[in-house]
Amino acid sequence: MPEKILWLRETFPWMGRHSGYDRLFNIMNLRAANPNHSVFRDRGRPLPNGSNALLRRLARCLSPSPFYDKHSLWTELQAIISTFSNKARLVHVSYVENNLGLIGRISHFIPVKIVGTVHQPVSWWQKHGLAAKVLNSLDALIVLSEKERIFFDQLLPGRVHLIPHGIDTEFFRPEPEAFNPAASNRMFRCVFAGVWLRDLDVLVDVINLVTAEETKIAFDLIIPQHLQNRGAFRRIERPHRIQWHAGLTDEQLREVYRDADLFVMPLIDCTANNALLEAMACGLPIVSNRIGGLPEYSDRSFAELLPVGDVRGMAAAILKLIKESAVEKRRAARAFAEDHFSWHRIVPQMESLYLNLLPSN
């Protein structure tokens, strides 16, 4: 991998050290001859005294993204300083929607290549009308699915690169006995995770349908605690079939996946989906929706993808799987994750892009 890379990164409190897109950069650093430099956006870090109002006003001018704020701007300022002090040759903004504003405006004055990864689906970009305003400064735009590649290639022809989201398949893996047939008298467990772009109304309708039909089924819902038993979740008719989870460690999260029989994920839209990749790597069959990047991140050998909003179709798919042996589906899910989305398969693709962008020494 080329040296002198600066990463403008962000991690999220609901993701552990083995989850999320940021894991990519940790693995790349392990492979590098010399560690590259990173600047992190940290919303909890105090800003310089008296700077809040000024940074807030400037942030509004620099980016129309609802995710870009005063902390984004402060992080970009640190990244620009670091670019010069560390003589960086390339800057990679890991979440364009959150952290690209100032660098894009002054890119002509920064002697580096600028790369950015977008994570939100096309519908989000169309809703906010941000694409041309935010992305024109990039030398390369990384997208996570084919739908985004087609959309952004119209705006940045020749600069759009599809490099999939990865998953830590060394950590997220099934127990060895996972591929043995399940005992017939045990409770069948479905796991669901997350909130962003999830179709919670459909989820609750599906839960109500399948728990009315089948007594030996339960749901593990990984939901922030402040949202549990609120909103759509108040309509759950058999709450005793629900196990709520929040604030899990990496190991606890992995155990929830390992104890489950099926991953259920009703969606409104998506590009990649980190939770789906984690579940797949742990050998779980998938019931979700044919939307966004999901057809690329799954396979018919283990995944049933229904139209968005198809409550009865999703419930029928779950009930059908209960009556089948899912051992082969589990094997297929695990193999698909390893073959296509292990970070060790994704990292060389990113390294190759960097090398193509940077002139030889």
pLDDT in tens, 79-112: 999 999 989 999 999 999 999 999 988 988 888 9
Name the pLDDT band for 183 (thresholds 50, 70, 90): low
Give per-residue pLDDT as tens, 307-347. Answer: 999 999 999 999 999 888 788 999 999 999 999 999 999 99
Strands (E) located in 153-203? 160-162, 188-193
Residues 6+ apart with CB under 8 A from 137: 100, 103, 104, 105, 107, 114
What's the alpha-carbon Rg for the chain, to the nearest Å? 22
Structure tokens at 27: 């693995």
Mean pLDDT of 235-246: 96
Q: Where are the domains of the chain?
A: 5-166+342-357, 176-340
Name the pLDDT band for 116 (thresholds 50, 70, 90): very high
pLDDT over threshold 70, residue 181: no
Is 176-340 in CATH node 3.40.50.2000? yes
Q: What is the pLDDT of residue 64?
A: 86
Is the four-CA dihedral 204, 206, 207, 213 of positive or negative sign? positive
Mean pLDDT of 178-207: 88
- In DSSP terms, 93 is beta-bridged to 8, 116
Residues 6+ apart with CB under 8 A from 48: none
Question: Exposed e or buried b for every residue in 81-111, given b needs 16+ CB within 10 A?
Answer: ebbeeeebbbbbbbbbbbbbbbbbeebeebe
Burial class (CB in 10 A: 0-12, 13-18, 19+), 258: middle
- In DSSP terms, 160 is beta-bridged to 141
Q: Report the C-alpha gap between 335 and 327 in whole angstroms.
A: 12
DSSP 183: P
Q: What is the pLDDT of residue 176?
A: 78
pLDDT over threshold 60, residue 361: no
pTM of the model: 0.94
Q: Which of 65, 79, 72, 161 is nearest to 120 (CA)?
A: 65
Dihedral of the alpha carbons of 20, 8, 292, 197, in degrees to the nearest 10: 70
**Taking the CB of residue 235, how many other CB atoms lie within 10 A of it?**
12
Q: Report the C-alpha gap between 153 and 131 in whole angstroms.
A: 11
Name the pLDDT band for 33 (thresholds 50, 70, 90): confident
CATH architecture, domain defined by 5-166+342-357? 3-Layer(aba) Sandwich (3.40)
